[in-house]
């Protein structure tokens, strides 16, 4: 089917996603090999993306769509912006709260707003496209392109309306599939507003499909990379290290940030069993969100070293003097780069 024909079909079907479609017309966003019904479902899903803003006066989240006005008294002008994006979600969890709460995403958002009352914390809810069945994982992964674009349009709108005045004060944090979505957001903000976002954090960016990117026909996935923001840091918790099987490890081992952290070596986390890690349990994967949340209060010193074995044997000195940096939030000087290791207890 030609791009033109597909466009006409979609415009007729979904008049009010017209703007998203125009973006989709851009060749980067559209590929003949994605079946139109799947694309339509994605567009419908993107339309249902919600942005949850923290209301500090009642400890609740206020939900709005990309185009809804920002309610009075919810935005702290001049405050930092923390945009948090969840990953693939499970059906057994029914509500949005359960689905993204399971990953620890709400705890992370709450920790940020407790840390500094003037932070504007936003959780992006894309559970409509991120939820099982697993056969939809491919679709969920492809959707990260469109979800990221939607979030970029949302942020650019906030900037136009004066809510965001300084892109350096914006930090976007994404977990798993969200760990690649944040890269799309950063990339698109550069295209739309000509500015780089201050900081982008990938928490165990998803491995499945992304590790074999480019090998699937019609693949639109885009891997987080250090060009996406001024400072990009990645924490690896459940990475697949080739030649281990593709299934079972939920994160990617690709070193793609200015700084990449490998707690406990980056494959398996303390408190999770080897069996869990081999069988695709998200135990180690979820730890990345937990570490980020804990880092807001506790300090996690991570140090440069050539690899995990050398680090574990105590052969790399670990202190601030020897080049150590903090993993999580706050992180590092903008000049920090490379791979950092830390033993979690």
- Contact between 281 and ligand NAG per CB under 6 A: no
- Contact between 270 and ligand NAG per CB under 6 A: no
> Whole-number minimum distance, CB 124 to ligand NAG, in Å?
17
- Contact between 74 and ligand NAG per CB under 6 A: yes
> Whole-number minimum distance, CB 295 to ligand NAG, in Å?
15
Task: Give every CB contact of residue 171 below 8 A, 6+ residues apart in sequence.
Answer: 80, 81, 82, 83, 197, 198, 199, 200, 201, 329
Quick one: which of 2, 15, 58, 95 contacts ligand NAG (CB under 6 A)? 58
Of 185, 86, 178, the closest CA to residue 141 belongs to 178
Looking at the Cβ atoms of 102 and 168, the one nearer to ligand NAG is: 168
Q: Which two tokens mark 63? A: 């939900």
Asked if 180 and 222 touch (Cβ cutoff 8 Å), the reply is yes
Looking at the Cβ atoms of 58 and 95, the one nearer to ligand NAG is: 58
**Which segments of the chain does DSSP mark as H helices, in order?**
3-13, 18-25, 36-47, 96-102, 105-115, 127-130, 137-160, 178-193, 274-278, 283-295, 308-312
- Contact between 33 and ligand NAG per CB under 6 A: yes
DSSP secondary structure string for all residues of 250-319? -EE----SSEEEEETTTTS-TTS-HHHHHTT-SHHHHHHHHHHHHHTTS--EEEE-S-HHHHHTT-S--S
Looking at the Cβ atoms of 14 and 76, the one nearer to ligand NAG is: 76
Asked if 109 and 82 touch (Cβ cutoff 8 Å), the reply is yes
Given the rule CB under 6 A, which of 24-32, 93-101, 228-236, 323-331 is the region that contacts ligand NAG? 24-32
- Contact between 57 and ligand NAG per CB under 6 A: yes
> Whole-number minimum distance, CB 179 to ligand NAG, in Å?
21
Quick one: which of 13, 63, 67, 71 contacts ligand NAG (CB under 6 A)? 71
Say how many Å lie between the first and final Cα of the chain, rounded: 55
92 CB-contact burial (10 Å; exposed 0-12 / middle 13-18 / buried 19+):
exposed
- Any idea which residues carry the catalytic annotation? 176, 204, 285
Distance CA 58, CA 168 (A): 29
- Contact between 64 and ligand NAG per CB under 6 A: no
- Contact between 63 and ligand NAG per CB under 6 A: no
Question: Taking each helix axis from N to C terminus, what angle separates 36-47 and 3-13, rounded to the nearest 10 degrees?
Answer: 40
- Contact between 243 and ligand NAG per CB under 6 A: no
Distance CA 35, CA 95 (A): 29
Looking at the Cβ atoms of 54 and 240, the one nearer to ligand NAG is: 54
**Scanning residues 88 to 147, which ones bind ligand NAG (CB under 6 A)?**
116, 118
Quick one: which of 31, 113, 244, 255 contacts ligand NAG (CB under 6 A)? 31
**Which segments of 161-234 does DSSP mark as H helices, in order?**
178-193
Residues touching ligand NAG: how many (CB under 6 A)? 16
Quick one: which of 9, 14, 36, 79 contacts ligand NAG (CB under 6 A)? 79
> Whole-number minimum distance, CB 303 to ligand NAG, in Å?
26
Looking at the Cβ atoms of 108 and 272, the one nearer to ligand NAG is: 108
> Whole-number minimum distance, CB 116 to ligand NAG, in Å?
4
3-state secondary structure of 49: coil
> Whole-number minimum distance, CB 254 to ligand NAG, in Å?
20
The dihedral of CA 156, 101, 141, 143: what is its sign?
negative
Q: Which two tokens mark 186? A: 């950063």
Quick one: which of 15, 27, 92, 215 contacts ligand NAG (CB under 6 A)? 27
Quick one: which of 69, 133, 162, 217 contacts ligand NAG (CB under 6 A)? 217
- Contact between 55 and ligand NAG per CB under 6 A: yes
Binding site for ligand NAG (CB under 6 A): 27-28, 31, 33, 55, 57-58, 62, 71, 74, 79-80, 116, 118, 217-218
């Amino acid at each position: 089917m030609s791009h033109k024909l597909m466009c006409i079909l979609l415009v007729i079907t979904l008049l009010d996603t017209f703007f998203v479609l125009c973006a989709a017309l851009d060749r980067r966003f559209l590929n003949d090999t994605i079946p139109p019904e799947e694309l339509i479902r994605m567009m419908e899903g993107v339309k249902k993306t919600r942005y949850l803003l923290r209301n500090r006066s009642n400890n609740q989240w206020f939900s709005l769509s990309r185009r809804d006005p920002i309610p009075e008294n919810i935005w702290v002008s001049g405050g930092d912006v923390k945009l948090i994006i969840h990953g693939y979600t499970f059906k057994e969890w029914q509500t949005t709260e359960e689905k993204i709460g399971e990953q620890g995403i709400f705890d992370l958002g709450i920790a940020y707003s407790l840390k500094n009352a003037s932070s504007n914390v936003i959780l992006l809810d894309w559970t409509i496209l991120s939820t099982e069945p697993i056969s939809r994982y491919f679709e969920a992964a492809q959707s990260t392109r469109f979800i990221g674009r939607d979030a970029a349009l949302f942020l650019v709108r906030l900037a136009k309306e004066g809510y965001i005045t300084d892109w350096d004060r914006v930090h976007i944090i994404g977990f798993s599939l969200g760990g690649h979505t944040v890269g799309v957001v950063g990339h698109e903000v550069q295209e739309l507003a000509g500015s780089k976002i201050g900081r982008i954090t990938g928490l165990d960016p998803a491995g499945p499909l992304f590790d074999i990117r480019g090998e699937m026909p019609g693949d639109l996935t885009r891997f987080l990379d250090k060009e996406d923001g001024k400072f990009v840091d990645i924490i690896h918790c459940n990475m697949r290290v080739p030649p281990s099987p593709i299934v079972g490890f939920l994160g990617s081992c690709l070193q793609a940030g200015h700084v990449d952290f490998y707690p406990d070596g980056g494959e398996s986390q303390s408190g999770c069993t080897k069996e869990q890690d081999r069988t695709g349990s998200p135990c180690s994967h979820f730890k990345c969100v937990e570490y980020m949340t804990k880092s807001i209060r506790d300090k996690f010193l991570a140090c440069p070293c050539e690899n995990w074995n050398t680090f574990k044997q105590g052969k790399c000195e670990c202190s601030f003097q020897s080049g150590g940096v903090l993993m999580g939030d706050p992180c590092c000087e903008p000049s920090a780069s490379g791979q950092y290791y830390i033993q979690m207890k």
